Copies of this chain bind each other. A is one copy, B any other.
Amino acid sequence: MKSVVQIVEVGPRDGLQNEKKVFTLHQKYDLIKRLSLAGLERIEIGAFVSKDWVPQMSDSTELVKKVLAAQASGELPAKIRYSTLAPNLKGMELAVQSGIKEVAIFGASTETFSKKNINCSIAESFVRFRQVMDLAKPNKIKVRGYLSMAFGCPFEGKVDESRVVRLVRAMLKLGVHEVSIGDTIGVATPAQVESLLKKIKKIAPLTRIAMHFHDTRGTALANVLASYRMGIRVFDSSVGGLGGCPYAKNATGNLATEDLMYMLNGMNVKFAGDVSALIDMRSWIQSTVDHELPAKVSKAGLPLKGTL
């Protein structure tokens, strides 16, 4: 059965990157294997970025090779689309060498965040993206674009919609297959989501857009609902809600995959993945990250059979 909504599981990358506890290669592979066997169809598993900046991702080459070998041998399902971040030429060269067939570039909606996060202006970041795209094409690697801080920036506050629309257009023009629009600090409400998507719809089909919500202020699922009704069919989420919010201490970051699945199930929207299998992972992940996970469905459990 084909999915109506695609879930892009970002726990092993976006999630772990924002956890204090650094997973070993073995633990990461274990997480990815569990997610894969839970039926997820797209999983972001690593990042080819500087070891000094993001030590959690320093073993991505080894990890990608292990995952792809396991996929080739049949230990992991063949149909799963694994991906990594490859934000610049150096990262992309490593991505090519690793054998991964999908990568993502990562841009910001505001100059201040771009400078603080990726150490260059937005214009400079697009020069880097161009280099990534140039290497992607001959190697037949699909590239996704992330556009972070699209609704609010911890440094600049409210973000101008027309600027976000321009950046979405610029990313699509680069040749990315999809732009994932991020509410990176979890400030968006449904009205803002709808307002932005109405403007984006004028310059691109919403089938090219994914939404990446954080549940920092409890609005993630309401924003998913609003986006879904506007026509969005790809959502990013993180198992257990892995990964906090670096801009609000102890607050929730990524929307939890279980919570997203629970709502989609209740709305009879088909997707790939088994919510029960993810719930079963809770105690293992918690013992590994060493804190309680924010995901609500795995905390409360599924209701009686027939209620879901």
Interface residues of A (CB under 8 A from B): 151-154, 156-158, 185-192, 215-222, 224-226, 245, 248, 250-252, 256, 259, 262-263, 265-268, 295-297, 299-301, 303-308
CB neighbours of A305 from chain B (8 A): 157
Residues of B within 8 A of A300 (CB): 186, 216-217, 245, 248, 251-252
Interface of A: prevailing SS: loop
- This chain: copies in complex: 2
Known: A218-B295, A219-B266, A252-B299. 16 other contacts (CB 8 A): A158-B306, A187-B308, A189-B263, A190-B266, A217-B259, A217-B297, A218-B220, A218-B262, A222-B222, A222-B224, A222-B225, A225-B226, A245-B300, A248-B299, A251-B300, A252-B300
Q: Which 4 A-B pairs have the closest CB atoms?
A: A189-B266, A251-B300, A218-B259, A248-B300
Inter-chain contact A306/B157, CB cutoff 8 Å:
yes
Asked whether B306 lies within 8 Å of A217 as measured between CB atoms, the reply is no
- Shortest CB-to-CB span from A66 to chain B, Å, is 33
Q: Which residue of B lies closest to A151 (CB)?
A: B307
Query: In angstroms, how far is the closest chain B Cβ from the Cβ of A116?
Result: 14
Q: In the complex, are the beta carbons of A218 and B154 less than 8 A apart?
A: no
Asked if B221 and A218 make an inter-chain contact with CB atoms under 8 angstroms apart, the answer reads: yes
A248-B300, A304-B157 as given contacts; A267 in contact with B217, CB under 8 Å: no
Which residues of chain B come closer than 8 Å to A158, judged between CB atoms? Answer: 304, 306-307
- The residue from B216, B217, B267 contacting A189, defined by CB atoms under 8 A apart: B267
Please pick, from B188, B216, B225, the residue contacting A296 in the complex, using a CB distance under 8 A.
B216
Instruction: Contact check, B217 vs A218: say whether CB atoms are below 8 A apart.
Output: no
Distance to closest chain B CB from A173 (angstroms): 28
Q: Report the Cα distance A303→B183, complex, angstroms.
A: 12
Task: Tell me how far the C-beta of A157 lies from the nearest C-beta in chain B, rounded to whole angstroms.
Answer: 4
A218 to B252 Cα, complex, angstroms? 12
With A221-B218, A226-B225 in contact, do A191 and B303 touch (Cβ < 8 Å)?
Answer: no
